[in-house]
RNA sequence: GGAGAGGUGUCCGAGUGGUUGAUGGUGCCGCUCUCGAAAAGCGGUCCCCGAUUAUAUCGGGGCGUGGGUUCGAAUCCCACCCUCUCCGCCA
């Protein structure tokens, strides 16, 4: 959420930022509600002040007191209404891109900032992962559909083990080498958590929701991690905090119906290892660089060629002020696969979730900055491993970094 | 799920209708004392909203959450949430 004071004082800048995002937030309406709200609060406060004075005289001024009560109640109702309207609109507004973010109309304006190694050349036609997976008997699409419907699949044998190995490998790397604390959070959260991290109210149609208990299934560990310190005031010494969490992720993917239906690239349920940071405002940009490098290192250790792409204004996520994607080359499906998206959300989520810190002993609390990035998304890194390490005979060589976890050097049929 | 108890400031713990941000203790910061430390004494120490020459000042709100009663509520009423104990159930 944006600071209403910032919007009030920089309306033109906000308007431009919103336009660059191809968003159509009603700035004028927001400014109008804000000014009306403040005016009514002024009135309400002076009424309350009078009530305070009058009530001290006990029985003497009961008549005026009764009048005041009615007026105050009416004014409270007005302010409540305006608060709600204003908040509803503010909650729909995206974060403001940082000034260094390339302005663009769509994803074609994203900028490749660096690449690591060249895509591997094959002297045979590399197969897509769904073919490899089915032939090896490690991915079962048909039974996934039988059990749960479209966009569900089953990993079996070495396929399940490969995913588990990747999870262990990534968690171990980030905790041992990059200083993240491992967290196992709930996969279902309260509505206010969804609001806190920015999924609600705007993206309700992409979230699974248990109506009976009003719990929401997380589409990313970013959600519970954002809310880990909700309504807390952290000490300056507590920052930065690095967290890494493995979770399942659930997404309805209604918006992308018919897209990427083949394979395991986009399912309703997938696993992810997520990196998350709480930092001081001045440090968040350098922390984003570090976080991105931490995620990249997974690709490097797996020896998978990748590129890092900076999002342009129009392609950025709702909560992000700046973000990088890590894209790995998948030779079988012949595309750059987004295995991670690393974002600096500045104080956008912190304001929603009310996560603050005290900059100094006597200083006022201030919102922290939050950052998140996949480190990495399992199905897509699985695709990359399978397609990059495939052999002419359809077997898959296990990357060196995973051999201790997999306890094998190659995945063969019935392996 | 059933029965009971309870939710107050960093924490502990008072307060059951009237200047109560809220007794007391504790923690934290500063000062005094001291060669220094401890002890002791004194002072300070919450958050939000609004007004402003804007962290100095003024006003309002906040005692689990949201409503209500009243001239006036931490204190009374209603609903909900959470914690603890016992019972039931269960990986």
Question: Distance from residue A118 (CA) to nucleotide B28 (C1'), in Å?
Answer: 57
Do residues A387 and A265 touch, judged by C-beta distance below 8 A?
no
State the complex-level ipTM: 0.90
A266 catalytic, yes or no? yes
Residue nearest to nucleotide B55 (CA to C1'): A364
Straight-line distance from CA A181 to C1' B44, in Å?
37
Q: Which of A38, A64, A230, A266 is catalytic?
A: A266
* Other beta carbons less than 10 A from residue A179's beta carbon: 12
* Domain range annotation of chain A: 4-90, 107-411
In the structure encoding, which two tokens stand for residue A19, read together?
């336009």
Q: Verify whether residue A46 is a known catalytic residue.
A: no
* 10-residue mean pLDDT series, chain A (415 residues): 94 95 94 94 91 78 83 90 92 95 95 96 96 97 95 96 98 98 93 93 92 89 94 88 96 85 94 97 96 98 98 96 97 96 96 90 87 97 98 97 96 80
Residue A255's pLDDT is 79
**Cβ-7 Å neighbors of strand B:** A 4-5, 38, 41-42, 44-46, 48-49, 51-52, 54-56, 58-59, 61-62, 65-66, 68-69, 73, 80, 233, 356, 358, 361, 363-365
Q: Exactly one of A48, A338, A358, A395 is catalytic; name it.
A: A338
The yes/no answer on whether domain A107-411 falls in CATH 3.30.930.10 is yes
In angstroms, the CA of A9 and the C1' of B56 are apart by: 24
A251 tagged catalytic: yes
Residue A267: Cβ within 10 Å count? 20
Pairing assessment for the beta strands A241-250 and A181-183 based on DSSP bridges: parallel
Q: Which residue has the tokens 């952290």?
A: A234
Strand locations in A280-395 (E): 306-310, 322-330, 335-344, 355-358, 366-367, 369-377
**Per the residue annotation, which of A37, A51, A161, A251 is the catalytic one?**
A251
Closest CA to A384 of A338, A324, A348: A338
Catalytic entry in A310, A356, A380, A387? A380
d(CA A57, CA A71): 19
What Å value separates CA A43 and C1' B68?
23
d(C-alpha A219, C-alpha A237), whole Å: 31
Taking the C1' atom of every nucleotide in all shown strands and the CA of A4, the nearest one is: B49
How buried is residue A49: exposed, middle or buried, by Cβ count under 10 Å (0-12/13-18/19+)?
exposed
Q: What is the CA A358 to C1' B33 distance in angstroms? A: 33
Q: Which nucleotide is nearest to A365 (CA to C1')?
A: B47
Q: Measured between alpha carbons, how far is A407 from A161 in angstroms, rounded to an integer? A: 10
Q: Whole-angstrom Cα distance, residue A246 to residue A191?
A: 21
Q: Is the dihedral of CA A43, A49, A52, A53 positive or negative?
A: negative
A287 CA → B19 C1’, Å: 50
Nucleotides of B under 7 A from a protein CB: 18-19, 28-29, 47-51, 55, 59-61, 67-72
Smallest CA-to-CA distance from A181 within A248, A249, A275 is with A275
End-to-end CA distance of chain A: 50
The verdict on domain A4-90 having CATH code 1.10.287.40 is yes
């Amino acid at each position: 959420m944006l600071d209403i004071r910032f919007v009030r004082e920089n309306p033109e800048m906000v308007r431009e930022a919103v336009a660059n995002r191809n968003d159509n937030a009603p700035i004028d309406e927001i400014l109008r509600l804000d000014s009306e709200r403040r005016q009514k609060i002024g009135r309400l406060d002076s009424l309350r002040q009078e009530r305070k004075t009058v009530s001290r005289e006990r029985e003497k001024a009961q008549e005026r007191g009764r009048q005041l009560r009615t007026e105050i109640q009416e004014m409270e109702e007005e302010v409540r209404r305006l608060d709600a309207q204003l908040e509803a609109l503010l909650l729909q507004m995206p974060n403001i891109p940082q000034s260094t973010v390339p302005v663009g109309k769509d994803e074609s304006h994203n900028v490749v900032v660096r690449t690591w190694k060249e895509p591997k050349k094959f002297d045979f036609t590399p197969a897509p992962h769904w073919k490899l997976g089915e032939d090896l008997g490690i991915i079962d699409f048909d039974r996934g559909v039988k059990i749960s419907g479209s966009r569900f699949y089953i990993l079996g044998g070495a396929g399940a083990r490969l995913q588990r190995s990747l999870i262990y490998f990534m968690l171990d790397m980030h905790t041992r080498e990059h200083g993240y604390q491992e967290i196992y959070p709930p996969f279902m959260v309260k509505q206010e958590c969804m609001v806190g991290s920015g999924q609600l109210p705007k993206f309700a149609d992409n979230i699974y929701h248990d109506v009976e208990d009003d719990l929401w299934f997380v589409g990313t560990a970013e959600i519970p991690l954002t809310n880990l310190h909700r309504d807390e005031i952290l000490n300056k010494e507590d920052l930065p905090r690095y967290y890494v969490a493995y979770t399942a992720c659930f997404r309805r993917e209604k918006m992308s119906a018919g897209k990427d239906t083949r394979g395991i690239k986009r399912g309703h349920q997938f696993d992810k290892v997520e990196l998350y940071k709480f930092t001081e405002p001045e440090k968040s940009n350098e922390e984003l660089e570090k976080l991105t490098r931490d995620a990249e290192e997974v690709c490097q250790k797996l020896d998978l060629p990748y590129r890092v792409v900076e999002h342009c204004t129009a392609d950025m996520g709702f909560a992000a002020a700046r973000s990088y994607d890590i894209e790995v080359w998948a030779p079988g499906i012949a595309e750059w696969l987004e295995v991670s998206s690393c974002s600096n959300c500045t104080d956008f989520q912190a304001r929603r979730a009310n996560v603050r810190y005290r900059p100094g002993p006597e200083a006022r609390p201030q919102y922290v900055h939050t950052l998140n990035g996949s480190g990495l998304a399992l199905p897509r890194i699985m695709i990359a491993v399978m397609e990059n390490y495939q052999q002419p005979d359809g077997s898959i060589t296990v990357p060196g970094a995973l051999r201790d976890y997999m306890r094998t050097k190659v995945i063969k049929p019935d392996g």
